[in-house]
Chains A and B, each alone.
Chain A
Amino acid sequence: MTEQIYSALIAILVGVTAVVVYFWGSNWILDTLISRSSRDNKEVLREKIRPWLFAGPAIFFLTLYLVYPVFETLWLSFHNSDSSAFVGLANYEWLFADREFHQTLQNNLLWLIIVPTLSTVLGLAVAVLADRSKFGTIAKSIVFMPMAISFVGASVIWKFVYHYNGEGDTQIGILNAVIVAFGGEPQFWLSITTWNSVLLMLILVWIQTGFAMVILGAALRGVPEETLEAAIIDGASRRQLFFRITLPQIMPTVIVVWTTIAILVLKVFDIVLAMTNGQWETQVLANLMYDWMFRGAGDFGRGSAIAIIIMISVIPIMAWNIYRFRKDEAGR
């Protein structure tokens, strides 16, 4: 054990040192090579090179790990399982004819509708309620807590909640215990199609509500007091106040939260893998892709085609983000 701690420490040290050495070293070399006794044009040259020393590693990593793979994946999706032959659109044709893929798309659509919406609504509710409550801070901390828990950890937690013992046995899963206490029949929940997907979605809602709460809470505090006060003087009820004034003002943030969670949902993988591994019609795109990558010897063509489907579905959000950024920059 001590040996492993030792090698882990060395690994950590080497990795971090390498980066520090690069930045300090490269800048030192630049300063030494183009000497400090600066005539103006030397200074100009130095400061022309330096930005690339600063941003270089980032550009390298982004290109190698995110940009190049998108094009490579697109290319691979037109090839067969071991990427040895060009097959045109065959992988996509297969995909759209495959029953499991239809099921998967349907599930993903359900995830896309339910998880972001439920998380946003619940997050907003907690943010509003906690703002008016004495113990609001503690309440927010507790709702926020699952954000720190891994999807796999959360899956263990919830698998225990949904646990099923045969009828007549003592139920140690709290969901079935509650149902039995009210005179119902215990169920093997994870095998009941459609409902099982919903139960998996609830795990993600449990995690993401805290995120929605924090962001929307910040937006709520940004709503100017004067408008609220003016409305109260005009005799607006609490309900009117919320739906006519507060909500429209934070609507842009609501949309940001919704889309952020939607992107996460498209990539959801861990929960399905850990809970059902796609059994009982709970398959989702990311898990299906992982499955094809490693099923048998791995089918890189089909795996890549599924990855491209995920990529295509985030492109509108990507375009929107860039558009918003350009508009903001122009307004500065």
Chain B
Amino acid sequence: MSVSKSKLPAFFNSTALIALVILWLIPTLGLFVSSIRDKDALAASGWWTAFNASTQVTFARTQDPSEQVETDKGYVLAGQLTSNEGETYTNVIAFGSTSNTPQEAEAGSQITLKNGDRLQVNADGSYEYISDEPIKGSRGKRIFFAYAQPAEFTLENYDNVISNGGIGQAFLNTLAVTIPATVIPVLIAAFAAYAFSWMRFAGREWLFAAVIGLLVVPLQTSLVPLLRLYSDLGQMFGFESKGYVGVWMAHTGFGLPLAIYLMRNYMRSLPGDLIESARVDGASHFQVFVRIILPLSVPALASFTIFQFLWVWNDLLVAMVFLGQGEDQIVLTAQLRALLGTRGSNWEVLTSGAFISIILPLVVFFALQRFFVRGLVAGSVKG
């Protein structure tokens, strides 16, 4: 649509679009920035201030009195403010004479202490302690001051949530659920889609219409019967009713209608002559499918694979119903929800945990966006 008459609408367009995009980005940005902040800073200030330098208050000692030099100003101790660890402070904002007044005077000015001595601290961290009498004592004089701490980021929250928050284990569990629960339905649906598009059998149309009907069946209606079935079977044959195999099969069942629908639409659009001529040459349907149709259907397979991967990875309901909630089976979404309950105000745990749970889908999504979009469009517009 290249219909533009003046520049004004174009300007409004851009502004509206930018506003929407910023609105869309801010929540996720907040999560990410918070996850790499120090946990005390995170609880004390908004994440949008994370990039500003913060003001910290501390103290340091001057050189030992033995280093004093007599000049025409008096007895002087001069040097550079240095921490116990030997780091120098180079961005002093203010200083003072006592621990209660660390921001008494601006950097660069001179103050007079109670005992008549004079102290000057400059912004670059250099100081001058001047006394009319020889300076006594065995240790350096204390200087209280405030300095600007540049924004600091850390991966500590991630370390913490992976090892102590159960997120590391949950990540592995989620992989163990997701990969088979993606591959199995893709395979099963590909065979079924071929049958529905190119093989002749009684009730084909009728069965496919049923598949379309099943597209919208809410999985809520499946939960109670399957839960009962699993536990009955488990008791009968003596296995644990909650486990990986059960959840793979459940995801397979729930994912199949869309998978068959998408792939059947795609395979139907392939040239029928191709299949006919191969059949005339004596190839069985199995050979035609594996050698010709499957390689040609890669785009449709890819679309659905991404769908199912995202769906299973992000699922909470099926995982909560059909998997145990112990350490060995809990998935990321369930673990995250458990953390929301138990560590509801520990944002350093929640933000880093949430980010770990969304990073893989985001990478897959951005890398394969083209296929995903194609699948979405095919899945909803046609039919």
CB of A116 within 8 Å of the partner chain: no
Interface set, chain A 136-154, CB cutoff 8 A to B: 136, 138-139, 141-153
CB of A89 within 8 Å of the partner chain: no
User: Chain B contacts of A72 at CB under 8 A?
Assistant: 224-225
User: Chain A contacts of B13 at CB under 8 A?
Assistant: 129, 132-133
User: Chain A contacts of B18 at CB under 8 A?
Assistant: 139
In Å, the complex CA distance between A256 and B153 comes to 45
CB of B90 within 8 Å of the partner chain: no
Cβ-defined partner of A139 (8 Å) among B5, B17, B42: B17
* B interface: dominant SS: helix
Cβ-defined partner of B9 (8 Å) among A15, A31, A238: A238
CB of A297 within 8 Å of the partner chain: no
CB of B175 within 8 Å of the partner chain: yes
CB of A244 within 8 Å of the partner chain: no
User: Chain A contacts of B366 at CB under 8 A?
Assistant: 141, 145, 148
Interface segment out of the listed A3-11, A95-103, A104-112, A191-199: A3-11
In Å, the complex CA distance between A7 and B211 comes to 35
User: Chain B contacts of A90 at CB under 8 A?
Assistant: none
Check B316–A270 contact: CB distance below 8 A. Answer: yes
Tally chain B residues at the interface, Cβ within 8 Å.
Answer: 122
Known: A1-B168, A55-B191. A66 touches B285 (CB 8 A): no
In Å, the complex CA distance between A329 and B253 comes to 25
User: Chain B contacts of A214 at CB under 8 A?
Assistant: 373, 376-377
A304-326 interface code vs B (CB 8 A; 1 in, 0 out): 10111011001001100110111
Check A8–B175 contact: CB distance below 8 A. Answer: yes
User: Chain A contacts of B248 at CB under 8 A?
Assistant: 15
Complex: chain B residue closest to A50, CB-CB? B285
Check A170–B44 contact: CB distance below 8 A. Answer: yes
Report the minimum CB–CB distance from A291 to chain B (whole Å).
12
CB of B69 within 8 Å of the partner chain: no
Check A267–B220 contact: CB distance below 8 A. Answer: yes
User: Chain A contacts of B340 at CB under 8 A?
Assistant: 152, 155-156, 159, 274
Check A311–B187 contact: CB distance below 8 A. Answer: no
Check A152–B337 contact: CB distance below 8 A. Answer: yes
Report the minimum CB–CB distance from A92 to chain B (whole Å).
15
User: Chain A contacts of B168 at CB under 8 A?
Assistant: 1
Check A61–B252 contact: CB distance below 8 A. Answer: yes
In Å, the complex CA distance between A228 and B172 comes to 53
Check A171–B46 contact: CB distance below 8 A. Answer: yes
B326-359 interface code vs A (CB 8 A; 1 in, 0 out): 0010001100110010000001001101100110
Report the minimum CB–CB distance from B165 to chain A (whole Å).
13
Interface set, chain A 61-80, CB cutoff 8 A to B: 61-62, 64-70, 72-73, 76
Check B188–A58 contact: CB distance below 8 A. Answer: yes
B28-50 interface code vs A (CB 8 A; 1 in, 0 out): 10110010000000111111100
Check B192–A57 contact: CB distance below 8 A. Answer: yes
In Å, the complex CA distance between A67 and B98 comes to 78
In Å, the complex CA distance between A16 and B337 comes to 29
In Å, the complex CA distance between A138 and B362 comes to 15
Cβ-defined partner of A129 (8 Å) among B16, B176, B373: B16
Interface set, chain B 209-267, CB cutoff 8 A to A: 209-228, 244-245, 248-250, 252-254, 256-257, 260
Report the minimum CB–CB distance from B316 to chain A (whole Å).
5
Report the minimum CB–CB distance from A180 to chain B (whole Å).
10
Cβ-defined partner of A218 (8 Å) among B184, B227, B377: B377
Cβ-defined partner of B350 (8 Å) among A70, A160, A220, A238: A160
In Å, the complex CA distance between A326 and B353 comes to 47
Check B216–A50 contact: CB distance below 8 A. Answer: no
Report the minimum CB–CB distance from A54 to chain B (whole Å).
4
Interface set, chain B 183-222, CB cutoff 8 A to A: 183-184, 187-189, 191-192, 194-196, 199-201, 204-205, 207-222
Complex: chain B residue closest to A174, CB-CB? B30
User: Chain B contacts of A326 at CB under 8 A?
Assistant: 209
Known: A16-B180, A66-B254, A157-B31. A5 touches B172 (CB 8 A): yes
Check A170–B46 contact: CB distance below 8 A. Answer: yes
Interface set, chain A 206-257, CB cutoff 8 A to B: 206, 209, 211, 214-215, 218-220, 228, 232, 238, 241, 253, 256-257
Nearest 8 A-B pairs (CB), nearest first? A65-B253, A150-B314, A58-B192, A15-B180, A148-B365, A8-B176, A72-B225, A54-B195
Mind listing 24 A-B residue pairs with CB under 8 Å? A7-B176, A8-B176, A15-B183, A16-B180, A16-B187, A19-B188, A58-B260, A66-B222, A66-B257, A129-B20, A132-B13, A135-B17, A153-B354, A156-B354, A159-B340, A171-B46, A214-B377, A274-B340, A290-B223, A293-B227, A307-B220, A310-B218, A310-B221, A318-B216
Q: Give A residues with C-beta under 8 Å from B.
A: 1, 4-5, 7-8, 11-12, 15-16, 19-20, 23, 27, 31, 46-48, 50-52, 54-55, 57-59, 61-62, 64-70, 72-73, 76, 83, 122, 125-126, 128-133, 135-136, 138-139, 141-153, 155-161, 163, 170-172, 174, 177, 206, 209, 211, 214-215, 218-220, 228, 232, 238, 241, 253, 256-257, 260, 263, 266-267, 269-270, 273-274, 286, 289-290, 293, 300, 303-304, 306-308, 310-311, 314, 317-318, 321-322, 324-326, 328-329
Q: Give B residues with C-beta under 8 Å from A.
A: 1-5, 9-10, 13-14, 16-18, 20-21, 24-28, 30-31, 34, 42-48, 168-169, 172-173, 175-176, 179-180, 183-184, 187-189, 191-192, 194-196, 199-201, 204-205, 207-228, 244-245, 248-250, 252-254, 256-257, 260, 284-286, 289, 310, 313-317, 320-321, 328, 332-333, 336-337, 340, 347, 350-351, 353-354, 357-358, 361-362, 364-366, 369, 373, 376-377, 380-381, 383
